[in-house]
């Protein structure tokens, strides 16, 4: 779907928008937690609504944009996707460290022990099913409660940053997208493929975002995220979700 657009002109935002426009109704992210039994599935359209709400929280509510940084530390969870993409659409650079960040997102456990004294706005992301609000510690706001009142009007979301602007940990958006395209090729992902990401370790950082979120979207595909993966359940899950590639 990007045959006429060079990789250097593409960004994570442009690929997400292209995936949404091409196939809004099919699943974009399907999430499982084998410890809790939770399953959540979001179409590209539904994910776009969450991305839009995050975008408007950052742009309209907080007045952030190009030149600002967002510190993100999340476990394997579907809510990581709208937070990261919402930051990119709002023009922010996503960072895996809190230095210089204007805003931070993460679940309470992931943020525990992190020095966030220099961060102006801190959003605790509740991992309760159905994206229910939680009770954040003092000094933090609840992400779900903050984004729900925001507009979900996707048509009014406009990418703010240029391909040459920072996207992730100092790398430009075009470089990040090129890495995603190269990884998709290395993995053998074909257009429309589903990738299952079921790591044995709990961390979910930049390399995982590239593999689990960006590479599948770069080929118009989708992702199955599995948290607390139970090895004995994965083969049946790969078959039922029609995942062609599994990363463990």
Question: Which domains does the chain possess?
Answer: 7-247 (3.40.50.12780)
User: Who contacts 60 (Cβ-Cβ below 8 Å, separation ≥6)?
Assistant: 150
Q: How confident is the model at residue 79 (pLDDT cuts 50, 70, 90)?
A: very high
2 pLDDT above the threshold of 50: no
**Half-sphere exposure (Cβ direction) of 33: Cα atoms closer than 13 Å:** 15
For residue 116, pLDDT beyond 70: yes
Give the model confidence (pLDDT) of 189-246 as tens digits.
999 999 999 998 878 999 999 999 999 999 999 999 999 999 999 999 999 999 999 9
pTM of the predicted protein model = 0.96
| In the predicted structure, residue 1 carries a pLDDT above the cut 60 | no
β-bridge pairing 103-106 and 69-73? parallel
* First-residue to last-residue Cα distance in the chain: 28
Pick the residue with more confidence: 188 or 1? Answer: 188
Sign of CA pseudo-dihedral 87, 90, 94, 97 = negative
Coil, strand or helix: which one is 71? strand
pLDDT-derived band at 6 (thresholds 50, 70, 90) equals: confident
- As a dihedral over the C-alpha atoms of residue 110, residue 43, residue 148, residue 86, rounded to 10 degrees, the angle is 60
Q: Do residues 12 and 204 make contact, with C-beta atoms less than 8 angstroms apart?
A: no
How is residue 222 written in tokens?
């989708």
pLDDT at 5: 63
Percentage of residues in the chain with pLDDT exceeding 90? 94
- H helices of 33-172, in order, are 44-56, 80-89, 108-111, 143-147
Assess whether pLDDT exceeds 90 at residue 139. yes
226 vs 27, 143, 202, CA distance in Å? 15, 22, 10
Q: Which residue has the higher pLDDT, 236 or 7?
A: 236
Burial 85-105 (b: 16+ CB within 10 A, else e): bbbbbbbbbbbeebeebbbbb
Task: Report pLDDT for 177.
Answer: 97
Residue 210 near residue 181, CB atoms below 8 Å: no
Distance CA 88, CA 90 (A): 5
Whether the CB-CB separation of 202 and 110 falls below 8 Å is answered with no
pLDDT at 4 > cutoff 70? no
Angle (CA) 213-215-221 rounded to 5° is: 80
Residue 175, SS3 per DSSP: helix
The mean per-residue pLDDT over the stretch 133-138 comes to 94
DSSP state of 66: T
Region 160-167 average pLDDT: 97
Ranges 4-8, 88-92, 165-169, 236-240: which has the least confidence: 4-8
pLDDT exceeds cutoff 80 at 248: yes
> What band does 3 get if pLDDT is binned at 50, 70 and 90?
very low
Q: Residue 114 pLDDT more than 80?
A: yes
Q: What is the pLDDT of residue 151?
A: 97
Considering the chain, what is the average pLDDT of its residues?
Answer: 95
């Amino acid at each position: 779907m990007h045959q006429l657009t060079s990789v250097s002109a593409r960004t994570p935002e442009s690929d997400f928008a292209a995936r949404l426009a091409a196939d809004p109704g099919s699943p974009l992210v399907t999430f499982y937690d084998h410890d809790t039994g939770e399953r959540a599935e979001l179409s590209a359209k539904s994910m776009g609504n969450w991305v839009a709400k995050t975008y408007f929280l950052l742009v309209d509510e907080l007045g952030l944009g190009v030149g600002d940084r967002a510190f993100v530390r999340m476990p394997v969870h579907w809510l990581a996707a709208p937070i990261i993409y919402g930051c990119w659409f709002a023009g922010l650079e996503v960072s895996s460290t809190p230095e210089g960040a204007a805003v931070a997102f993460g679940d309470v456990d992931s943020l525990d022990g992190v020095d966030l004294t220099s961060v102006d706005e801190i959003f605790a992301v509740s991992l309760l099913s159905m994206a229910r609000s939680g009770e954040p510690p003092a000094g933090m706001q609840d992400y779900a409660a903050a984004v729900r009142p925001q507009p979900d009007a996707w048509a009014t979301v406009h990418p703010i940053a240029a391909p040459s602007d920072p996207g992730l940990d100092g790398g430009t958006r075009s470089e990040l997208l090129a890495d995603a395209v190269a990884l998709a090729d290395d993995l053998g992902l074909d257009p429309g493929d589903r990738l299952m990401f079921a790591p044995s370790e709990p961390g979910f950082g930049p390399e995982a975002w590239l593999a689990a979120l960006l590479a599948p979207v770069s080929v118009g595909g989708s992702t199955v995220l599995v948290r607390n993966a139970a090895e004995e359940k994965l083969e049946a899950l790969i078959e039922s979700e029609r995942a062609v590639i599994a990363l463990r």
